[in-house]
Amino acid sequence: MRRLSFLSIAFALAVSACASPPPTEPGATSGVGMVAAADPRAVDAGLEMLRRGGSATDAAIATMMVLGLVEPQSAGIGGGAFLLNYDQSANDIDAYDGRERAPAGATPNLFLGANGQPLPFRDAVASGLSTGAPSLIAMLEKAHADHGVLPWRVLFEPAIKLADEGFIVTPRLANLIAYVGANSALKADPEAGAYFFDANGAPLAAGARRTNPKYAATLRAIQTQGARALQQGAIAAEIVAQVQRAPRPGTLSLADLRNVAPRKLDPVCGAYRTYRVCGMGPPSSGGIAVLSTLGLYERARPAPVGATNVDDWAGYLWASRIAYSDRDHYVGDDQFVPVPTAALTDPRYLSVRAREIDLAKAPPAILQPGDPSLVVGGPSLLDRWGRDRTNEVPGTTHLSVVAGNGDAVAMTATVESVFGSMRMAGGFMLNNQLTDFSLAPTKNGLPVANAPAAGKRPRSSMAPTLVFDRDGKLYAVVGSPGGSAIIGYVSKTLIGLIDWGLPMQQAIDLPNITARNAIAPAETGRMAPGVADALTARGWTFRPSQLESSGLHGIRITPTGFDGGADSRREGVAKTTTSAPVR
């Protein structure tokens, strides 16, 4: 738990215990607020909880359970998540780590073939090797114990009703089933093949109605048993059997499921201009890298102009490249490797790194990581690790909630790749989270910080984010799916909100440019006329993209109400029940 203090850069740790309040009486109508998520049916489930007097956490859980049904390709019970909960009355943030752990049988050579070389990435994904112990429900159970108001069982009712009665397949889901293809591991999986393809082998079409009785049964078990339903008994046995089957079986066991233990942590927070930005720490790199990007951008562009300004975009691209180079080198599971979190976001270090920025030209193709120990002290880790170039496939979902009392939740959840490991159990997809590890455990003779190990969590890029204004009041809640590009998606949205004065929807719809590597995927068609050409003339190389894989969902709190946004690249919405929260 972190109690917010806006009088200095330092934060004081809050040590008070959080007890669950008594359930709200049936028929309560005090719940107001906004929910932004990837599907209108999920948003409606969250709003229903707020109308019934539920908390932001209650709304987030109900929203997530529907998302697991209607967009199973992105996230769900078989995966994990990171969640930030802001309690306005206590003025503190709890950060929940629901990242999946590698099974006890995992080794650094987890993804090496018989020839000693890493498996082809798609082979590693579509296998039992890639599945970590699902942790979403255990994390949500922990968050609900601290911040829930409605009874646990109530939160699953909308998703159960929809699974029983059927939901309409959206164009995005239908397109992704077809994209994965008839000859894929998805169709080869007995349960997934029968669910996503019809009797003739054709993929489900947009507009079709689909029930999911197994998902409804799983949710009913979770209603009564909580996370234990996935750690012992029939559902747990089904998960293990699916992971351990050929081809490329994994070692996940019932003991691994029983040992799932989400953590409650402090968020990673830092100043950005007159605001304070808070995100997730390790094993997520999202909070560190977003803060690094913003801090570097602030130094490169002390007086930003707007989305039509070439120097503003050049500053953002430079800041992103530097932040990614440090993130790739240093960040892993902090329970296994030392991660210099504070040093990487230290203003003194960012000032030194910002000296590399030359807005008139692009950086070299290979940008080396810095050494924060030379600036802020402590042991140097620069030469301890080899460079990690993990291929993080776009997937995932994000939801943002603000309740009427001013409490808020930012949660990013995932099964990692599209349809995860392509294996289904209990009506939900199983994750391929372990391919977020470096497939090669060493680089140039040095160990990689993000190499696999038994019980280790793979590095993530998920970046659920809370922003506070100069008075310490909640200003914005935002996050996105998108693999390693999440860091860029969230950073450009915050720059749009804070620096360019855009409403949430316009900030979300700004062009996505991900400058992790020398060639940056870019929505050049969304850029202001002349900007892409001017950046190219300065040496930046883009891979034009018509539609990046962001799914940004955000809420900005204004003196008069809510300013919500949902990514126009997907199918989500931001909806409110009524006016502004308590401020």
How far is Cα 555 from Cα 576, in angstroms, rounded to an integer?
10
How far is Cα 205 from Cα 508, in angstroms, rounded to an integer?
29
User: What is the torsion angle, in degrees rounded to the nearest 10, for the CA atoms of residue 420, residue 423, residue 429 and residue 432?
Assistant: -30
- Catalytic residue from among 345, 396, 397, 435: 396
How far is Cα 48 from Cα 62, in angstroms, rounded to an integer?
9
- Residue 396 annotated as catalytic: yes
The CA distances from residue 572 to 8, 67, 70, 160, 420, in Å, are: 37, 11, 12, 20, 21
Helices (H) then strands (E): counts for the chain: 19, 23
Own/partner long-range contacts of 229-235 (Cβ < 8 Å, ≥24 apart) = 229/137, 230/77, 230/134, 230/137, 230/138, 230/257, 230/260, 231/138, 231/257, 231/258, 231/260, 232/257, 232/258, 235/425, 235/426
- Nearby residues of 517 by Cβ (< 8 Å), 6 or more positions away: none
Whether 163 contacts 212, CB under 8 Å? yes
Own/partner long-range contacts of 177-186 (Cβ < 8 Å, ≥24 apart) = 177/73, 177/203, 177/204, 178/203, 179/418, 180/418, 180/419, 180/422, 184/126, 184/422, 185/126, 185/422, 185/423, 186/419, 186/422
Beta partners for residue 543, in sequence order: 521
The Cα diameter of the chain in Å comes to 65
Nearest to 490 by CA among 193, 278, 220: 278
Q: How far, rounded to the nearest angstrom, does the alpha carbon of residue 240 sit from its chain's CA centroid?
A: 25
Give the residue numbers marked as catalytic. Answer: 396
